[in-house]
Structure 1
Amino acid sequence: MKIAIRKGGAQDLPAVLSVLDSAVVWLNGKGITAQWGTEPFSARPKAVEQVERTMSEGDPWIAEIDGVPAGTMTLTPHPGQHIAPADEPEVYVRLLATDARFHGHGVGAALLAHAAEETRRQEISLLRVDCFAGSEGRLIAYYERQGFTRTEKFTVNEWQGQVLERRV
């Protein structure tokens, strides 16, 4: 399967929400409900608003396989509201998700490789991401396999998170 990555825009909100909704179903099927909850993003007006705002603050990217949205991420020049910005220019990976139909096909890795390329293209050396720290740290380990290293931990309303960074 060939993964094509294209720049997205506001018109891709339905596709991004569809990928995020699919990821929630996939996570829930694995018994992981603490990461993104049990309700689809598209069914939560505040979540839709947050996704829309995040997309407008940066560059959304859509990974496609045979023209079908298989994954998404938005690259912003700053983290979300619960994380302190770095003391240098950075690119921050937000809303990274793979559609459940395409799990295990390298979509997330392709998007993260693209994030590193974009960071270099902007002549920035720091790429950061944060993730859910629960579920035995499986997501943290995934990012470490993608070349990231742990920095600070954080908590938002009992939700445990981990910030990771990668020099590019």
Structure 2
Amino acid sequence: MKFTHADPNDIPTLTSLLNRSYRGDSSRAGWTTEADLLSGKRIDEAGLTQLLNDPDSLILIARSNETILATIHAHREADTVHFGLFAVEPTMQAQGIGKALLAYAESEAHKQWGINTAVMEVITHRSELIAYYERRGYVRTGEMIPFPESDLWDRQVDALELAVMHKRLDTISSNS
């Protein structure tokens, strides 16, 4: 598996990966589905292109040969990095791909920006996903924020909110 930064040619593949990993029946092949919580798209090509062109963003990918298996978005905000749009091909989840990509993303954010704190915002209904991040060193802050509105999706349940989680990155080895 090879980790790289995404480029504009990756946008259609990444958009498809993100949407089938988060929403719809295809997402049910993995354990990270949001299909029971939200319908519609997670992101469109225009939104992903905007993130790719943002100088404070990195879109990182895991490839096997030429196939994109996973992606994560890192966004620098002051002295923190916010991770989101984290997706692994649904049929390939639970094989360590996401764990390896997250470690790479944390290392890249620390190396590129000198950032020592990572932030994740996770839907509170997703207790198994919160536990996944806790096993990787993320800690709930107690802060909750409203789930965003978008024309791309519709809520399937009421009272969606996001739990904010933090992790210190300054303990990451420079050999990571």
* Superposition TM-score tier, normalisation by shorter sequence: 0.7 to 0.9
Residue in structure 1 matching 2:90, options 92, 100, 103:
100
Identity of aligned residues (%): 21
Contact 2:80 2:118 in 1 (8 A): yes
**Normalised by the size of structure 2, how large is the TM-score?**
0.75
TM-score by length of 1: 0.78
1:78-130 CA-to-partner distances (Å, cap 9, x unmatched) read: 3xxxxxxxxx5111112111111211111211111012211221321111111
Partner residue of 2:139?
149
Aligned to 2:48: 51
Aligned letter for 1:7? H
Query: How far off its partner does 1:41 sit?
Result: 4.2
Extract unaligned runs of 5+ from structure 1.
79-87
Letter in structure 2 aligned against 1:124: I
Distance (whole Å) between structure 2 residues aligned to residue 146 and residue 114 of structure 1: 13
Q: For the Cα contact (< 8 Å) 1:154–1:160, is it kept in 2?
A: yes
2:5 paired residue number: 7
Is the aligned partner of 1:159 residue 2:160? yes
What is the CA–CA distance in structure 1 between the aligned matches of 2:98 and 2:17, rounded to whole Å? 12
CA 1:20/1:90 → structure 2, altered by over 3 Å: closer, same or farther? same
Looking at structure 1, the residues matched to 71 and 34 of structure 2 have their Cα atoms a distance apart, in angstroms, of 20
Aligned partners of 2:116, 2:34: CA distance in 1, in Å?
Answer: 33
> How much is the aligned-residue C-alpha RMSD, in angstroms?
2.2
Tell me how far 1:54 sits from its aligned partner: 2.7
For 1:62, the equivalent position in structure 2 comes to 61
Give the Cα–Cα distance (whole angstroms) in 2 for the partners of residues 101 and 28 of structure 1.
Answer: 9
Q: Which runs of 5+ in 2 are unaligned?
A: 150-158, 170-176
Tell me the SS of whatever aligns to 1:11. Answer: helix
Q: Is the 8 A contact 1:133 1:139 kept in 2?
A: no
C-alpha displacement at 1:147, in angstroms? 1.1
> Which residue is 1:132 aligned to?
123
